[in-house]
Chain A
Amino acid sequence: MNAQDALHLLEQEHQALLQFVYLAPVGLVQTRGDGEIVMLNPVAAQLLMPLSRDGLLDNLFTTLQEVAPDLQDRLDTGTPGNGLVCDGLQLSVQVSQDPRPEARLLSFSLIRIDADHCMALLQDVTAQVRREHRLRQQEAWLGAILAGVTDYALVTLDHAGRIVEWNDSIQRISGFSPEAVHGQTLSLFYPSDGITPERVVDHLREADQSGCSLDEGWRVRSDGTRYWGSVLITPLRLAGSEATAAPGTAEAPRAAHAAYCLILRDLSEHRDTAAQARQAAVCDYLTGIHNRRAFFEAAERETRRVKQRPRPLSVVVFDADHFKHINDSLGHPAGDAVLCHIASTLRATFREVDVVARIGGEEFAVLLPSTDLQGAHTVAERFCRRLAASPACTAAGEVPCTVSAGIATMDDCGGDLNVLMQRADQALYAAKAAGRNRVCGLAPGR
């Protein structure tokens, strides 16, 4: 083969190789140890460009800093020589300019190749995760049926979610006697701040619409002790009781009985690895509270419910004051301790049913179902006063910390979650501008 032919062959092979990598259906990025992007393929740019604040893709860690603030930390403390730094980390991506309302989910893996090279893998797994969620629901349903009788309580509910009659299994699982159960709704099984009357109706409607409603979380027994449990609700359609009777006739009261079947399971013995993995996926790496993804998933669910059955919905966003100064003067471990202190104080101040999350490096958000602007302001104020009065304990000594807070309520936002978050952000900005350590809300119509 002469030089000309060899060159031509090389050219052909080069083009074929380029095409191969151009068409790879996953995002691939090669970076230096500080996240500087050396090479990336088209799917990587497709997925990363919407996240880029500056319209550039110079540094992977900078581009991902809002959805994954800890990457440089993980890389530095993870595997010093080489190896997997994170595997299939799920990042919730919500870009306000994107007209589609729902967050995308990206799966992110990072591998250290050597001292100065890393490889990252990115995939859009939104559809896949939804499928897996539905599958999990079905598995839970099946598990509830197949488990032994001692494992669950069977409860019948009327159309309003009230317990129709007591049976042995209820007392065995939850401790409630026939007298305690009489006239109560399913909220009896929940901690008092763990459910709202609107949420009870949500569960029943979800059962009507999708065939079953599944809710896993903290439950409470008659003696006040908490346990991790699941509540599965399915509609009961008894033969001949289809609501063909006109309302107000003699037939109607009978149709009011036994509208739903509720299965209550105590999962204390069943915290298996799958459940632990689910827990890890919704929790923030540093503070243990919900992460950004969990916050937006919960916010989208609640937005859908509010659309169907209107009730107030508010959100508070918090940002640690002078946080850069704390990190720079006292070091990152002290900064981390401050973030953990803020998170645990948030968790102790807000209700069980509120979703408390870390949504950015030093930014937190709390979703407040069934709460109007005034209610949000009251509890946000209470939190700010509490935090300002209790410094964080760190290795560098006691560190006083405060936050600025912005509140917003769905009534001012036309049912649009993006607008709700934007208004909260604007209010937060106003709080900062007005001197920090305070709560601000925008006037309606602004």
Chain B
Amino acid sequence: MPPLVTLDFTQEALLDALLPLDRHGLDALEFGVIGFDATTTVRDYNAFESRMAGLSRERVIGLPLFTAVAICMNNFMVAHRFEEAAETGVALDATIDYVLTLRMRPQHVQLRLLARPGEDRRFVLIQRKPGA
């Protein structure tokens, strides 16, 4: 098993660093990771995110991300950006301020959206804001 790496939410080439990680590797990270495929089916849901959302991994893997798991992200700010990037064949690496509704309380976060043409696996990463 490769040594567990600690990655930084803001580091360059983060997509390259995430792709080779297995479940244990993703669970070791200190920010939320949701990995999904071109059909928006959730493939990765790490321990950090599971703890934050209060949802077990089993409830989430295999479901469509934007309609069954992260409905609050189903708008032009998040979901459509992945569609647009795929349609126009452009790489996506965007960090935005957002508000999540975990346990129905507004929670200020930063989202980082990662995708690359030709790569089936894409990611939404979630970092809680300091003091949030």
Which chain A residues have a beta carbon within 8 Å of chain B's beta carbons? Answer: 14-15, 18-19, 21-23, 37-47, 49-50, 52, 55-58, 95, 97-100
**Distance to closest chain B CB from A77 (angstroms):** 27
How many Å lie between the Cα of A255 and that of B75 in the bound state?
51
Q: Are B101 and A55 in contact (CB under 8 A)?
A: no
User: 1/0 per position for B55-83, CB-CB distance to A under 8 A?
Assistant: 11001000000001111111111001000
**What's the Cα separation between A403 and B82 when bound, in Å?**
43
Kindly report which residue of chain B lies nearest to residue A14, judged by CB atoms: B54
A23 x B59 contact (CB < 8 A): no
Name which residue of chain B comes closest to A25, CB basis.
B71
Q: How far in angstroms is the closest Cβ of chain B from A343?
A: 33
Residues of A within 8 A of B117 (CB): none
Q: How far is the CA of A124 from the CA of B55 in the complex (A)?
A: 27
> With the chains together, A45 CA to B73 CA distance in Å?
8
Q: Given A14-B54, A15-B59, is A49 in contact with B72 using a C-beta cutoff of 8 Å? A: yes
Report 6 cross-chain contacts, Cβ distance below 8 Å, ordered by A residue. Answer: A23-B71, A40-B104, A43-B71, A46-B72, A49-B72, A55-B97
Known pairs A18-B55, A39-B105, A57-B106; A45 contacts B99 (CB<8 A): yes
Question: When the two chains form the complex, which single residue of A18, A42, A44, A56 contacts B54, counting CB atoms closer than 8 Å?
Answer: A18
- Tally of B interface residues using CB under 8 Å: 27
| B residues in contact (CB < 8 Å) with A | 54-56, 59, 68-77, 80, 84, 96-101, 103-106, 108
| B84 partner residues in chain A, CB cutoff 8 A | 99
Q: CA–CA, A46 to B73, complex, Å? A: 6
Q: What residues on A are CB-neighbors of B99 within 8 Å? A: 45, 49, 52, 55-57
B104→A39 contact, CB < 8 A: yes
Given A15-B56, A21-B104, A39-B104; 17 other pairs, CB 8 A cutoff: A18-B55, A19-B55, A19-B59, A23-B68, A23-B71, A39-B106, A40-B101, A42-B101, A43-B71, A43-B72, A45-B100, A49-B77, A52-B99, A55-B99, A57-B106, A99-B84, A100-B76
5 tightest A-B contacts by CB?
A45-B72, A55-B97, A42-B72, A42-B71, A57-B99
Contact residues in A for B54 (Cβ distance below 8 Å): 14-15, 18
A37 to chain B, nearest CB (A): 6
Complex Cα spacing A19 to B56, Å: 11
Complex: A52 Cα to B70 Cα, angstroms: 19
How far apart are A24's CB and chain B's nearest CB, in angstroms?
Answer: 9
Question: Which chain A residues border B71 with CB–CB below 8 Å?
Answer: 22-23, 42-43, 46
Of all chain A residues, the one with the shortest Cβ separation from B80 is: A99
Question: What's the nearest-Cβ distance from chain A to residue B34, in Å?
Answer: 14
Nearest chain A residue, comparing its CB with the CB of B67:
A23
In the complex, are the beta carbons of B103 and A18 less than 8 A apart? yes
Separation of A43 and B96 alpha carbons in the complex (Å): 19
Contact indicator A41/B75 (Cβ below 8 Å): no
In the bound complex, what is the Cα–Cα distance between A45 and B100 (angstroms)? 7
B37 to A: closest C-beta gap in Å: 21
Among the listed A15, A45, A99, which residue makes an inter-chain contact with B101, where contact means beta carbons less than 8 Å apart?
A45
B19 to chain A, nearest CB (A): 28
- The answer to whether B72 and A98 have CB atoms under 8 Å apart is no
Question: Which residues in A have their C-beta under 8 angstroms from that of B55?
Answer: 15, 18-19
